[in-house]
Amino acid sequence: MTFVVEVDVRVPMRDGIALATNVWRLEGPGPFPVLLVRTPYGKDDAGTYGNPKLPDVFAFVEAGYAVVAQDVRGTSRSPGPFVPHANEGRDGTDTLAWLAGQPWCDGAVGMWGGSYMGFAQWQAAVHGGPALRAIAPVMTSADPYAAPWYSPGGALSQDAVLTWGTLSALRNLRRSPAGGHGDPGDAHALLSGLSEPRLLHDPLPVADRGAVTRHLPWVGQVLDHPERDTFWQEVASIDHCGDITVPALHIGGWYDVFIGETVRSYTMMRRHGGSAAARDGQRLLIGPWCHADGADLGTFPDRSFGLHSGIKSAEVTGAHLRFFDRWVRGLTDAPDDAHQVRIFVMGVDRWRDEVDWPLPDTRYTDFFLAGGGRANTAGGDGVLTPDAVSVEAADTFLYDPRRPVPSLGGTVLAAASGAFPGPADQAAVETREDVLCFTTPVLEHPVEVTGHVTLVLYVSSSAPDTDFTGKLVDVHPDGRAILLCEASSAPATARHSPILSPCSRERSTS
C-alpha cells in the first residue's frame, strides 16, 4: 500500500480563520470517500491514530478512504482562541463543505473519534450539510451538560471540569510564549494541580481557580451556569435529533463517564432521528471499559472480565469499516452488523448481540429501601427488598465537608486526576457512619440486571445545598462490594444509568 500524506493544509472557515489539517489518502487521483476526525489534542499526536479505543486509520486508508485529521480552532497548529463546544458546529460545517469541494473527495464524508472528538461530530451533525453521511462517536455525549460537566441531576462533575480544564489551560499556556506572553507561575500552579490532585480539588470555593480560568475562561462560564440554561442548550445536539439525518455508530463502556448519554443518544436517535436512515442506521456497542487511557482491556485491580473483554476483542476497526462501507460508501450489499446492539454481559463475562436498547424483553422491577432506621454502614439494618415497605423509618447521617466520603472507582473521566476508575471494591467506604447501605438477602439464583437503573430518594437536609450519591454494588461471597453503577444528583431527582451484571447479592448505598 502506497499513500500520500499532506501536512498542515489550511482549511478556511467563514470568519477567515484557517484550520490546520492533515490528509492521508492512497496514491492516485481518487476520488475517495473521506473519514474526518476533528481533535483538540493535536492531529500530529500518534495517540490520535494509535489509541486502542479508536479504529486503525491505516485500515481505513487501505480500504480506500481518505483520512482527514484537523486541529480544532485554538489548539495545536490551528489559530484562534479555544472555547470548548462554541465553534464546533460552524467549523465542522465549513470543513465538510471544503472537503466536498476537493477533487480527491467523492462528496461523501463520515466522521469518527472519541471524547471531545465525539462532541465535534454531534455538533457538526446538526448542521453538517449533504456531504456528511454518518458519524461514529466513541465514549462521548450529545448533551455536554448531562455528561461530563454536570449530571442529569444537576451535580457539578468537579473532577471532570477541573482536571480536563487544567489540562486544556496548560495547553493554551504553552501556546502563549510564541505570542510573547505567558506566566511561569501559572504553569507551576497548573502542573502542581495535575501532579497532586488535592491541590486541584480541595480548595474552596471551587470557582477560585485563577490559573485555570485565566488560560481557559470557559471553566468560569461552566461554574456560572449550574442549571441547564441557554448556555448549555445551544451546544446540546440531543435537543435537535430531528435535524440530524445521519446514522451513528455509538461505542461506550459500562464504566465510562459518558455511558448514560451514550445510550440516551442511541435511543433518542432511534425514536426521533430526522430521517429513516438515521433512525434505522443506529448501532450501539458497549464493553466493560472506562474512559481513562489504558483502561480498555477489561481488567481492573478489583475485577477482571477476561482476555476477550478488551476493546480489541470487540473488533472496533471492523465495526467502523462495516458501518462506513454501508452508510458512507452506500454499499447496500456490504456485510453489516446483523443486530442493532452488541453488549458485553458482565458476570457471565461474554459478548451478546441484541436487537435493540433497552432490551425488548426488559422487565422493570421496583425495590424499596427499608429497615429500622439504622442503615449506617454495611453492618447496619438497611434492607433492599422487592416488597413494599409498610412501616416508615427515617435513616439519618451527618455530612462533614471536612471529611467527605471519597470516590472509589466509578465513572472517572481521566486517570490524570489520580482517581481509581472502574469496578472498585466499596467495602472501605461502607464502614463509614455517613454512608447508608441497603442490602438484599443472598440471592439463591442468578439474576441479570440489564438496563436503566433509577434511584428515587425522599430526603430532607439542614444544609442549604446538598448533593446525594447513589450506588448499586454487587456483594461477592468473599465480602467484596464491587461497584456496578453510580450517580449524583440534587434532592428528589432521578438518574438513569445503564448497568449490566448478574449478582450474588445486591446492595444500594446512598
Catalytic (active site) residue 115: yes
Distance separating alpha carbons of residues 199 and 211, to the nearest angstrom: 12
* Residue 322 CB neighbour total at 10 angstroms: 18
Q: Longest Cα pair distance anywhere in the chain, in angstroms?
A: 77
Q: Is 225 a catalytic residue?
A: no
Strand partners, 502: 448
C-alpha cell at 332: 447496500
Label the pairing between strands 468-475 and 506-509: antiparallel
> Annotated catalytic residue: which of 291, 425, 452, 501?
291
- The residue from 76, 78, 115, 488 that is catalytic is 115
For residue 183, with 0-12 CB atoms within 10 Å meaning exposed, 13-18 middle and 19 or more buried, which class applies? middle
Instruction: Determine whether 86 is exposed, middle or buried from the number of CB atoms within 10 Å of its CB (0-12, 13-18, 19+).
Output: middle
* Sequence-distant (≥ 6) Cβ neighbours of residue 200 within 8 angstroms: 162, 163, 166, 193, 194, 417
- Separation of alpha carbons 412 and 467, rounded Å: 18
Cα distance between residue 106 and residue 113, in whole Å: 21
* Angle, CA 320 vertex, CA 423 and CA 74 arms, to 5°: 80
For β-strands 447-453 and 283-290, DSSP reports them as unpaired
Distance CA 302, CA 476 (A): 12
Catalytic residue among 71, 186, 256, 325: 256
Instruction: Confirm whether 127 is a catalytic residue.
Output: no
Active site residues per annotation: 115, 256, 291
